[in-house]
């Protein structure tokens, strides 16, 4: 799919939207709110369609590239809002803080997407370890799995998440 997207065409765009539209919309909704999320999501896919030749599958995932476009559009939106707000009330919010908040929201979504792609058992082990703060032994008992299996699932799952996140940042 990703290699086909780089070739362009309406069908490739439709497939990309079907596969990643929800992810992009969720990211936009969490950063700019529901009222602007649809507009920015639409603009993301319009830009992606126009600049499909800039997508390089060997440098990262299509989801990561689309989130990158969304981040840029959101930063542009907030910069414009900031200029207008400064004119109205004279308050200042640093661009670094704003970009950091947007970056954090994007990272959270990319992590969630990477976790979603894991096999269910690995996803469950990671969730119990890092979200529920259980020890390896507690996870093994809860899931009725050997301790070595829990450790292996955790190591392999985190490595897969890391690879997906690294490919999204290239």
Q: In this predicted model, what pLDDT tens digit does every residue of 39-80 receive, in sequence order?
A: 999 999 999 988 888 888 888 888 888 999 999 898 888 887
What is the Cα 97 distance to its own chain's centre?
19
> What's the pLDDT band for 164 if we cut at 50, 70, 90?
confident
> What's the pLDDT band for 169 if we cut at 50, 70, 90?
low
Q: Give the residue extent of every domain in the chain.
A: 1-116, 117-170
What sign results for the dihedral spanned by CA atoms 19, 23, 26, 28?
negative
Please tell me the CATH code under which domain 117-170 is placed. 1.10.10.10
Q: In this predicted model, what pLDDT tens digit does every residue of 101-129 receive, in sequence order?
A: 777 777 777 888 888 888 999 989 988 88
Whether pLDDT at 2 is above 60: no
What sign results for the dihedral spanned by CA atoms 41, 45, 51, 55?
positive
Quote the pLDDT of residue 149: 93
CATH architecture assignment, domain 1-116: Orthogonal Bundle (1.10)
Q: What are phi and psi of 118, to 5 degrees?
A: -75, 155
0.85 cut: is pTM over it?
no
Tokens of 46: 């319009």
């Amino acid at each position: 799919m990703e290699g086909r997207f780089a070739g362009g065409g309406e069908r490739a765009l439709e497939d990309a939207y079907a596969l990643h539209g929800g992810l992009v919309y969720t990211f936009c909704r969490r950063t700019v709110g529901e009222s602007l999320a649809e507009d920015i999501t639409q603009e993301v896919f319009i830009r992606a369609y126009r600049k499909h030749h800039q997508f390089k599958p060997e440098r990262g995932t299509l989801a990561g590239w689309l989130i990158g476009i969304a981040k840029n559009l959101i930063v542009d939106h907030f910069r414009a809002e900031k200029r207008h707000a400064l004119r109205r009330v004279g308050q200042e919010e640093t661009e670094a803080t704003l970009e950091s908040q947007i970056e954090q929201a994007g990272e959270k979504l990319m992590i969630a997407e990477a976790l979603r792609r894991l096999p269910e058992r690995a996803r469950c082990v990671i969730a119990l370890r890092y979200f529920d703060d259980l020890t390896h032994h507690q996870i093994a008992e809860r899931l009725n799995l050997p301790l070595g299996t829990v450790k292996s699932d955790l190591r392999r799952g985190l490595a897969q998440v890391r690879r997906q996140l690294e490919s999204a940042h290239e």
